[in-house]
Amino acid sequence: MLNVPRVTKMDSGSSYSCIVKSPSGEMAKRSFELHVVEAPQLEDILLPTDLQEGQIVQIHCNLKTGDSPVYYSWLKDGKKIPTHLKIVERSLEVFSVLIIKNVSLDHCGTYTCVAANHVAKVNKTVNLYIKVAPKWSEEPKNTSLLLGRNDHISCSATGYPQPQTHWLKKDVLSETWRPVLEIAGGGVLSLSNGSLIFDSVALSDAGLYTCHVENGVGEPLSKTVWISVNKPVTFDVVSRNLTAKLGQHVTIECQAKGDDPIRIMWTRNGKPINPLTQRIKISEMKTEDGMTNILELLQTETSDGALYQCRAGNPFGADVFSVHLTILEPPIPPSDLSVDSIKSRSVKLSWRDMTKSLAQYYSMQITNSQRLSWSTARTINITRYLSKQ
């Protein structure tokens, strides 16, 4: 075995012979010529540092040394270059070049030139970054927020370097623009993506806001918007119990708070009430913070005992106010009075009462006169005992 410790290009073309002799004097000889193929070496890829959007960019990959044939290929961010980027590749024996005729933010990334021949594969990389002025990706617009709800406003732009977003709000007292976080306090959060987050919208959050975007390239972006705060319909009290006597005039008041327009509908046990009913009167009036609607039952009947609901809504939300109305009727006289037992010092009486009776007390009269003279009878008051279910 012949070992050549360090082969150089100068050794190419040298002839070597291997001669073998046997003990009997016979000889065998084999000659060969050495061909040295040099692996490719690439020059560093250099790009200008002040590239601007829309320029023509050429990325050159130059061969420093290496034997032909050399084959070139390119990668972007470690993958094959997408065809939609419309990048043109031109390769000759000693170089390869990428041509980008209208460079944009989509072309930015890491480009790798790969060179290979029969003995080795090598590569060089370069980062392509261009300065791009901010462009709106989500432009803020006039917005209505709901009182008490969580909400957000978007403001974002593309560009390189990454644009920075700043929110300002006009102070109604000083008539100056101030950072929104200084005015709003802890209820508002500005995210790195440009979104303005409202944790719980308050009336004080209404006003003029400006989103300012810049990255040091070209002209900054700025947009002023008006944010209004709308009040969905709400009730301070959502339910109550109401008791009225039979035949009494009953008034149920429904006080809805919220922004106009407010629409109100009454239901009885879940069914709409016809305002044209003879014994029912419905009226309404606007208030400073909403609307008051009044349902009147002109002369109550037993059947009026029910669940009444005032359903109010506006374009921003809805709510329900419930009233449980109980009608009290005069008690019906008991029936089936009987003597159950008589003892020397006591007597046990019983009588039948209506299961729905709300009577709380009974008066029992006792007389010794056989002529049933109740005017002089003795009266005993009895409290009704209601067992717990």
272 pLDDT exceeds 80? yes
What's residue 345's pLDDT?
85
Is residue 61 scored above 90 in pLDDT?
yes
What top-level class would CATH report for the domain 1-130?
mainly beta
Region 54-61: what's the mean pLDDT? 95
How many C-alpha atoms does 142 have within 13 Å on its Cβ side? 2
**What integer is the mean pLDDT of 215-219?**
89
- Name the architecture of domain 239-328: Sandwich (2.60)
User: Does the global pTM surpass 0.75?
Assistant: no
Q: Which of 106, 76, 73 is nearest to 90 (CA)?
A: 73
pLDDT at residue 388 tops 70: no
Let me know if the fold of 1-130 is the same as that of 239-328.
yes
pLDDT at 183: 77
In the chain, the percentage of residues whose pLDDT exceeds 70 is 95
The model's pLDDT over 104-158, given as tens digits with 9 standing for 90+, comes to 989 999 999 999 999 999 999 999 999 889 999 999 999 999 998 899 999 999 9
Strands across the sheet with 151-153, in order? 151-153, 196-198, 188-190
Local structure of 242: helix, strand or coil: strand
Which tops the pLDDT comparison, 251 or 183? 251
Q: Give pLDDT, residue 296.
A: 94
Tell me the mean pLDDT in the region 352-377: 71
Closest CA to 131 of 50, 76, 77: 50
Split at pLDDT 50, 70, 90, the class of 354 is: low
Q: 105 with 92: CB under 8 angstroms?
A: no
220 has a pLDDT exceeding 80: yes
Q: Looking at domain 138-230, what is its CATH homologous superfamily? A: Immunoglobulins (2.60.40.10)
97-101, 120-124, 142-146, 361-365: the lowest-pLDDT one: 361-365
pLDDT digits (tens, 9 = 90+) for 292-324: 999 999 989 988 999 999 999 999 999 999 999
Residue 389 has a pLDDT of 44
Containing 58, the helix (H) or strand (E) segment is: strand 57-65
Condensed to tens digits (0 to 9), the pLDDT of residues 8-57 reads 777 777 787 788 888 887 888 788 777 778 889 999 999 998 898 889 99
Beta bridge partners of 263: 313
DSSP state of 219: P
What residues does each domain of the chain span?
Answer: 1-130, 138-230, 239-328, 335-383
Answer yes or no: is pLDDT of 356 > 70. no
Per-chain mean pLDDT for the chain: 88
pLDDT exceeds cutoff 60 at 291: yes
Buried (b) or exposed (e) across 189-224, using 16+ Cβ within 10 A? ebeeebbbebeebbeebbbebbbbbbbebeebbeee
Q: What's the CA dihedral at 367, 370, 375, 380 to 10 degrees? A: 20
Determine the pLDDT at residue 5.
Answer: 79
pLDDT for the residue numbered 372: 64
